[in-house]
Amino acid sequence: QNALYQSCHEDENDVQTISHKCQVVGREHYEQMTRSKKYQDRQDLYYLAGTYDPTTGRLVTADGVPVLC
């Protein structure tokens, strides 16, 4: 939950589809933040889980471990 994967894929989106800003941090930082009462209920906090390459379909965790799908 709240994991995001970065990618070089691009889309064109109408500005009206953007609802709000979010914060993306590393997993360790995310876990520290969510243990704090200040951040526990935030719906706009995510962590970077890894990278997705749309040309190869390859998914790699932030630690560099390939994910087999």
pLDDT value for 59: 95
Express each pLDDT in 15-48 by its tens digit. 999 999 999 999 999 999 999 988 777 889 999 9
Please say if the pLDDT value at position 69 is more than 80: no
Q: Which of 2, 1, 7 is nearest to 50 (CA)?
A: 7
pLDDT value for 56: 93
Chain center to CA of 56: 20
